[in-house]
Structure 1
Amino acid sequence: MNWYESSLPDINEIKERLQVIIPENVDDANYARNITAARTVFVMLYSFAIEGESGRIRPSTVTVMTDKQSKKQSRLEREMWLSVMLGAKKPNDPERWYSENTREPIRDDTIATLKQLGAVCEVPGIPVTSSKPRYFLARDFVELLNPSLIGELLEVSVRKWQELHLAKGALILQSLREQERRSQIFVEFGHTKHPLASGMSSVLTKAAVEIFAKNFMEKPEVLLISESADKVHWKFGKLLQSLRLALNPKRALPDVIIAETGRKEFCLVFIEIVHTDGPISNDRKRELLEFAGESGLQEHECTFVTVFASRSDSAYRRVQGSLAWGSFVWFADEPERIIHLIDTPKQSLTLVDLLML
C-alpha cells in the first residue's frame, strides 16, 4: 500500500514540507511554498492525481474542497468526491476553500510554478481550451511528502530531488545559505586558509576569492580581506606594504583587494561584498581611485567589482541604481557570468563595437 492511500498530512504539514523541498530563492518560489500551494498539493493527493494513479484534476477542483471533506479520507470517499466535482453539476458548497474565479491564479501561478519545478505533470495532448482534468503530481515529488520520511533520509532525498530538478543557481544559493549557518568560515587562496566570521558577507567573500577570481583572473594574488572586527590583518598589511600600497587606517577600505599578476600590465581589483549595503557606487569608485593614486597607480590599472548573492537578492534590487559606470557586477549564483556597466562618454560605439570589446 502506498503511504497516501490511508491518511494524508494536513495542510500546514504539507506547507512545512514544501518549504523544506523548495528553496525560497527559486523563481516565483512563494507560489510553490505558500498556503495555496499546500492546498493544491493536498487536493492532488486526495484525488489520487499522482503519477501511476488514475486521478487527474483541473484548477477548479482545488477551489471546491472544504475542511469537512478533507477529513473524509477513505479511498472510496475520495474517489466519489472527485467524480462529483468533475461532473457537470458539481455542488457549490458555501464552505469551499476558494471562490470559482480563483481557478485562474491557481492555474497560472501555483500549478504553473510547481510544473516548472517538476513537481506537477500535465497530461499531453489536451487542448488548452478543454475543461478536461489534466494535472497530477510527479511520483518522485510525492515520495518527498511522506510524513514518515524524516531526518537524514529526508535531507538526502530532498537533495537528490533538488539536484535533478532545480536550476544550478538555485542550488548554489542553497549552498550559500547552508554555509551562512556555520559558526566559522574559511577562505582558501594559495597555500593560505584564512578564517572569517560567520554570516552571509563572509560566505560571499569566500565565493569572490575562491570562485570569482578563478573564473575571471589569470593569476590572482589576494592582497586584502578586510572585516569590521579586524580591518587589516597583519599578514595582509605586510603584503600591501611590500607592494608599496599606501594604507590609511582612517580610510574605509574595500572588502577585498586582489592583484592580477598574470598579465604584463599590473591591475588591482577592488571588490565590495554586498549583503546589506556598500556597493561600488560612483562616490565609492572615486574614493578607491584616490587610494590607488596615493600608491602611484593609474585608473586604467584599477578594476571595480560588486558582489551579490543573486539578481533576485533584495540587496541587489535596493542598490542597483547606484552602481558605478565602468564597474563590474558578479552574482555568486551565476558564477560563470558577469555584468559590465560599460561607460563610453568620450566615444560613440555601436552594439557591434561593444560586442567586440
Structure 2
Amino acid sequence: MTWPAMLPWNEIHARLPEIFPEGSANREHSIWEIAAKTIFVMLYAGAVEGAGRWIRPDQVTRMTEEQAGQTGEEARDAWAAVSVRPGKADVPGRWYAVNTRESIRDDTIRYALIQNGAVIERAGLATTSPAGRYALQGEFAALLAPDMDEVTFVAKAAAWREKHLNAGALARIAIVRKGAAGGGAFQLVTFPNGETRRMAAGPSADLSKAVIEGFAPRFLERPGVIALSESGNKVVARDDELAKAIGLTIPADKSLPDIVLVDLGPQHPLLIFVEVVHTDGPVNDARKTALLHIAEGAGFAPQHVAFVTAYLDRASQAFRKTVSGLAWGSYAWFASEPDKLVLFGARPQRIEGG
C-alpha cells in the first residue's frame, strides 16, 4: 500500500479551524486537540478511504509522543498491528486513558467528524465486532498534505466544504461568517411595512436585521416594528402611532429591549420583546419580570406577551455562556437556523417525536 504522508498532530490541529469554520456542526469537537490526534492516528495507521485499513477508537488512546515521532513505514505498519492486539498491558506515555475511548468514538468521531464528512465508517461490520471501522474520507485526507502552502490549503478547504457539506450546513456557515464580519459603515434594515432604517454596522446590527427581516415574517402573522435600538441604547426607530394603536406607552428610558415587535394577526395583538445578545444580554428572569410590568401597564396580559433572545448561532460562545440564565417561558432564536425556535417552557404533558 501507499502510506499517506504525515503531518504532525499539532499542525493538523492548526488546520482544522479553517476546514470547519464557525457555523460548522459540532465545531467544538471537530477542531479540538482530541480531533487532531484522532485524525493523526488514522493517517499514521494508513486508515484512509480506499486503502482498506481502519482504526478503532482505543488505538487513539494507545498512541504516544515517542511513537508519533517514528514516521517510517515499517514503524507505522508495526504499530498498527500491535495497537489492535487485545490485552490490558499499560502503555507508558499514552495519549489518553483507556476509558476515554467511548468519548473519542462518540463525541469526536460519530457526532463531529463523521457528521461533517471528514471520516467514513466501514459498512457491513457488526456492532460488536472488534475490528477497526473508521477511516479518513479521501479528499479530506488530502487537505492534510504536509507540503501544501497556506493559499492552496485555504482554497482546497473551501472546495472540499462546497462538495461534501450539505446545503444547510453551508448556509449556516455563510450566515455565521457574515454576522461575524459585518461590513460597511451602516446596515440597512427593511421593516415589514417596506420602510428602511440605517443602523451603525456591526454584529449587533446584523443580528437586529436578521430578527426583523428573518424572524418576524417567519413566526408572526402580521408583524410590525414598534421600536428598534442599537448599541449604546441609541433609538433607531420608534413607531409611536402603532404603539398608541395597541395601547403601549414606550418609555423614554433604557428599560426597553433592543427590539419591540407586535403581531397584529391574532384577535388580540401579541407583543414580542427581543433582546440581541450583542448588546444588553439575554432575557433572564429579572428582565422578563421588568418587561412584563411594561406590557401589563399597556393592558397586555402575560399570555399576549412573548420574550425572545436572538443569537447568531447556537454553537457560539455567547449562547453557551448565557443559556443557563434564559428565563423559563422565553424563546431562543438563531440567525444561522432561522426556521427553528427554541422554547424554554414548562414541563409538557407528554413527549412527542418528530
TM-score by length of 1: 0.75
Aligned to 1:127: 126
Aligned to 2:158: 156
Aligned to 1:44: 42
Offset of residue 156 of structure 1 = 2.1
> Counterpart of 1:229 in 2: which secondary structure?
helix
Offset of residue 306 of structure 1 = 1.4
Amino acid at match of 1:125: G
Offset of residue 8 of structure 1 = 1.8
Q: Would the aligned equivalents of 1:122 and 1:134 in 2 still touch at CA under 8 Å?
A: yes
Q: Which moved more, 1:283-292 or 1:202-211?
A: 283-292
Q: Which moved more, 1:203-212 or 1:268-277?
A: 268-277
**Could you tell me which of 199, 205, 208 is aligned with 1:205?**
208
Q: Which moved more, 1:89-98 or 1:138-147?
A: 89-98
Aligned to 2:227: 224
Offset of residue 228 of structure 1 = 3.4
Q: Would the aligned equivalents of 1:328 and 1:341 in 2 still touch at CA under 8 Å?
A: yes
Offset of residue 13 of structure 1 = 1.0
Aligned to 1:214: 217
Aligned CA-pair RMSD:
3.9
Offset of residue 99 of structure 1 = 4.8
Q: Would the aligned equivalents of 1:144 and 1:154 in 2 still touch at CA under 8 Å?
A: yes
> How do 1:337-352 and structure 2 match up within 5 A?
337-339=340-342, 351=349
Amino acid at match of 2:231: S
**Could you tell me which of 305, 312, 318 is aligned with 2:324?**
318
> Counterpart of 2:226 in 1: which secondary structure?
strand
The answer on 1:194 being equivalent to 2:193 is no
Aligned residue-pair number: 337
Q: Which moved more, 1:215-224 or 1:17-26?
A: 17-26
Offset of residue 144 of structure 1 = 3.0
Distance of 1:282 and 1:63 partners within structure 2 = 44
**Could you tell me which of 303, 306, 310 is aligned with 2:305?**
303
For each residue in 1:134-155, what CA deviation from the matched residue of structure 2 results, as whole angstroms up to 9, or x when unmatched?
2211123223333526435145
Identity of aligned residues (%): 33
Distance of 2:344 and 2:60 partners within structure 1 = 47
> How do 1:63-102 and structure 2 match up within 5 A?
63-86=61-84, 94-102=92-100
Q: Would the aligned equivalents of 2:118 and 2:136 in 1 still touch at CA under 8 Å?
A: yes
Task: From the superposition, tell whether residues 328 and 132 of structure 1 become closer, same or farther in structure 2 (CA, over 3 Å).
Answer: closer
Q: Would the aligned equivalents of 1:23 and 1:174 in 2 still touch at CA under 8 Å?
A: no
Larger relative contact order, structure 1 or 2 (CA cutoff 8 Å, min sep 6): 2
Q: Would the aligned equivalents of 2:226 and 2:243 in 1 still touch at CA under 8 Å?
A: no
For each residue in 1:283-336, what CA deviation from the matched residue of structure 2 results, as whole angstroms up to 9, or x when unmatched?
544544554566x5543795322123255622442312xx254x5443434422
> Counterpart of 1:317 in 2: which secondary structure?
helix
Q: Would the aligned equivalents of 2:22 and 2:176 in 1 still touch at CA under 8 Å?
A: no
Task: From the superposition, tell whether residues 143 and 149 of structure 1 become closer, same or farther in structure 2 (CA, over 3 Å).
Answer: farther
Task: From the superposition, tell whether residues 288 and 101 of structure 1 become closer, same or farther in structure 2 (CA, over 3 Å).
Answer: closer
Aligned to 1:136: 135
Q: Would the aligned equivalents of 2:19 and 2:158 in 1 still touch at CA under 8 Å?
A: no
Task: From the superposition, tell whether residues 45 and 240 of structure 1 become closer, same or farther in structure 2 (CA, over 3 Å).
Answer: same
**Could you tell me which of 61, 74, 93 is aligned with 2:59?**
61
Amino acid at match of 1:335: P
Task: From the superposition, tell whether residues 221 and 100 of structure 1 become closer, same or farther in structure 2 (CA, over 3 Å).
Answer: closer
Offset of residue 37 of structure 1 = 1.8
Aligned to 2:145: 146
Aligned to 1:347: none
> Counterpart of 2:38 in 1: which secondary structure?
helix
When Rg is computed on C-alpha atoms for both structures, the one with the higher figure is 1
Aligned to 1:248: 251
TM-score by length of 2: 0.76
Aligned to 1:9: 7
Q: Which moved more, 1:214-223 or 1:98-107?
A: 98-107
Distance of 1:161 and 1:19 partners within structure 2 = 18
Offset of residue 194 of structure 1 = 2.3
